[in-house]
Structure 1
């Protein structure tokens, strides 16, 4: 394999001499004149460019979007099947990509809850956009032997058949896992009430507050294989990426350095600081305070940077090994799961909202909401024949936990997700797509008092005092997405010597090339536009 570089008025163009191009050229006698005439040389090079561009177009993966035919809105989590038992799922923007050359793709079968299943020929697609038509089912047109069942009776039958429907045995599957961490600083106020140090004033504190990064995001992505069932899994990572955002704190560092400098100039070296917040207090020697600041401001060594990278990789391994089994084991029937619908059916109100087709099966559409003090509302899709649950969408209607004490508060205010299963030819329900979002809000509303005291000074020990009120409100959202591919069993990797023996990279900017050649769930706009803020 080698490359040639073509120069023209539009600039240089690199053409890769692939085996296909070489084979193409060898079929034509014109190649024998390549070194003899300039005209033929230019002609062949132009021919190579055309062929190369055409070959590259046919070898790249196929990407598209699934939209609602009427509203033109994206249809998330639709199934795009490109071969028997092989398919991908659209992301929350309706986008998908298939890691197959276009020449190997002919027809796509697209299905989604509430829409008519559609089969399309790739050659007929315009701009790779697929439109689905909503599926309206009239009850009079459907024959149901148990059509008089109430929503409660349907779910009781679904609960009774969990062991039968979800007894999948030991399966081997390829998976893709993404963890998103989103943090926001809503409020960061430092209000000075009293300061005996002239340069530490409200203007400095306002500058520090304004320099605090107001939002940050980071992502972990993992491709691998797992073997097991819903209760136990062995995870084998093939490839992993960490989109890490260390945040730019350059302006904040300058201000805090200024604050440290002011302290050093105004506080005696043999003094100590009494730091109090209400009746809570701690004593800190000034020299200890200075040493700690010097450690924090010291530039990391190569060894420390390498250690930090290894820690990021270990964090990715730990997250995959803990969260993937957690998502699978905490299915809707798990009595210990936070989402407790099936364990407490009597605490919810249910309503049969209609019927639709899902995975070529007629399903009940059942809405639920809390009765009394329960926590969740949402929608279920239950098979009308075997009462297997195809899909559940749920969200909390109130905070799950609250804590407030002495001006410190914590609220678990977000807990929502999706569980989507696919029914195999044996009637067993396999994991297909799981999503979970967990959010927390944290607050501090406390006074803060810093008092410099010095026992070596004659007379009054208190030298300086700084009193302020602190008001901080931050929020954190963690989102977990797990896609399980049906065709993974045929592509299982050979056992590795170490569970940490896999390709890993940390990015400060999203790189789509890293996942080229693999089926994943398409990144949303936030991930595609991810760029770490550097100093």
Structure 2
């Protein structure tokens, strides 16, 4: 097991991992309901060279469980905390082995948010420089033209007398109707969007060291602004140091399997997400209630991008990084 774990560690740390996902979705938004209907889904990933945290944990625990296969359950502890008195490792091994069959992944349509959950989902792009203005200073830089619209250019930065502000950058607001035409944001120098350091207490340290975005909005015939383009980049760091112990519930004490180990995991994760609003149209609640679609669709997984994959759909062209992905 130690040799396998060392090989896995060398494979993971030899180079960084990279993958891409593309989705085409119909989004139905009513006053208190938001529903996704996926049209097509693509994962571009080379499984031989790419790992995500779930893949790593699965590999680690699969190697661990194989060495502890037993007809008996186990008592498991992390540090001094018992996880469960009777854990069946055989069931966990079976679940992981089934996952290794690489059955097709799916995305589900029935992501339905209502009332408070809808509000949280629909407003998750609202940063505190839009909602908690007392934490920021705003400076009018003048009037400029942005995407064909005359706009007030406003710079914002944290209020030095308020410690909660973290972001800097620009707002562009239509001079005619005060609609938001565009804005961008980035963390101020030295700031983190989130920072938790329990390294010496629980062996955990996590922080978000990158949180930036760029948004463009378009005005429809009903004079309502809709998101036309959104780009968000998140960068996070995580450190986890834990101990685990397994003790077999074998009635014969002399034959009990026992295993104690410590593991350490440290990684940086960068994720950039782009949303493009291709087309907007109004629908009535009656039309929404009459809609029906399959519960899920399969995700297509490929190792090399095919330029014909989206040929029948109205989408933006793939970036050069996606086209040349290996």
In the other structure, the counterpart of 1:293 is 93
Distance across 2 between alignment mates of 1:206 and 1:503: 38
| Bigger Rg, structure 1 or 2 | 1
1:508 alignment partner, one of 302, 306, 313: 302
> CA shift at 1:497, angstroms?
5.4
1:65-124, Cα deviation, whole Å (9 max, x unpaired): xxxxxxxxxxxxxxxxxxxxxxxxxxxxxxxxxxxxxxxxxxxxxxxxxxxxxxxxxxxx
In the other structure, the counterpart of 1:247 is 47
Distance across 2 between alignment mates of 1:438 and 1:299: 28
> CA shift at 1:350, angstroms?
2.3
User: CA-atom RMSD, angstroms?
Assistant: 4.6
2:157 alignment partner, one of 369, 374, 378: 369
1:457-496, Cα deviation, whole Å (9 max, x unpaired): 5xxx58676544311124445544332246x549xxx988
Question: TM-score, normalised on structure 2?
Answer: 0.68
Question: TM-score, normalised on structure 1?
Answer: 0.45
1:207 aligns with 2:7: yes
2:171 alignment partner, one of 376, 380, 391: 380
Distance across 2 between alignment mates of 1:348 and 1:489: 36
1:418 aligns with 2:219: no
Distance across 1 between alignment mates of 2:76 and 2:296: 48
> CA shift at 1:356, angstroms?
2.8
Per the alignment, do residues 445 and 378 of structure 1 end up closer, same or farther by CA in structure 2, a change over 3 Å counting?
Answer: same
Per the alignment, do residues 273 and 499 of structure 1 end up closer, same or farther by CA in structure 2, a change over 3 Å counting?
Answer: closer
In the other structure, the counterpart of 1:445 is 241
Please give the residue correspondences for 1:448-463 in structure 2 after superposition, counting only pairs within 5 Å.
Answer: 448-450=244-246, 455-457=251-253, 461=254
SS at match of 2:9: helix
In the other structure, the counterpart of 1:399 is 192
1:435 aligns with 2:231: yes
Q: Is the 2:23–2:38 Cα contact (8 Å) retained in structure 1?
A: no
Per the alignment, do residues 327 and 367 of structure 1 end up closer, same or farther by CA in structure 2, a change over 3 Å counting?
Answer: farther
Q: Is the 1:414–1:438 Cα contact (8 Å) retained in structure 2?
A: yes
Distance across 2 between alignment mates of 1:254 and 1:507: 20
1:398-453, Cα deviation, whole Å (9 max, x unpaired): 33334435113343444332331234577654432233445544331123344568
Per the alignment, do residues 485 and 436 of structure 1 end up closer, same or farther by CA in structure 2, a change over 3 Å counting?
Answer: same
Per the alignment, do residues 442 and 364 of structure 1 end up closer, same or farther by CA in structure 2, a change over 3 Å counting?
Answer: same
Distance across 2 between alignment mates of 1:234 and 1:453: 49
Per the alignment, do residues 348 and 477 of structure 1 end up closer, same or farther by CA in structure 2, a change over 3 Å counting?
Answer: same
Distance across 2 between alignment mates of 1:464 and 1:428: 66
> CA shift at 1:257, angstroms?
7.4
Q: Is the 1:271–1:455 Cα contact (8 Å) retained in structure 2?
A: no
Richer in helix (by share):
1
Where do 5+ consecutive residues of structure 1 fail to align? 1-199
